[in-house]
Amino acid sequence: MLIDRDYMLEKPPGPSASKLFLDQTVVPALANAAGAVEAGIERVVVVSRRNPLLAFGIVAGIGLALTMTRPRRAF
């Protein structure tokens, strides 16, 4: 590669449109949804007088529901 005078002035190409969409739309939406779920669980625990077993049950139930709805892959 030959380095010329304008080598440091050239800008590399930016990220693709799909990566920009993923980084600017999908990831923040998922982070907001996760925060809303966390806040909801926190409210339930506070209302139920700080019973940690209730929080564990809610999180375990959500995890089980997500696991059961995941499509199975055949190997």
C-alpha count within 13 angstroms, C-beta hemisphere, residue 62: 10
Range(s) of the domain holding residue 46: 33-69
Number of domains in the chain: 1
User: In this structure, is residue 21 part of a structural domain?
Assistant: no
Tokens of 58: 């809610």
pLDDT of res. 74: 67
Is the pLDDT at 50 greater than 80, yes or no? no
% of the chain exceeding 90 in pLDDT: 36
C-alpha–C-alpha distance, residues 9 and 5, integer Å? 9
pLDDT of res. 18: 93
20-44 residue pLDDT tens: 999 999 999 999 999 999 998 888 8
pLDDT of res. 8: 77
pLDDT band at 75 (very low <50, low <70, confident <90, very high): low
User: In this structure, is residue 48 part of a structural domain?
Assistant: yes
C-alpha–C-alpha distance, residues 30 and 32, integer Å? 5
How would DSSP label each residue in 23-69?
Answer: IIIIHHHHHHHHHHHHHHHHHHHHHTTS-HHHHHHHHHHHHHHHHHH
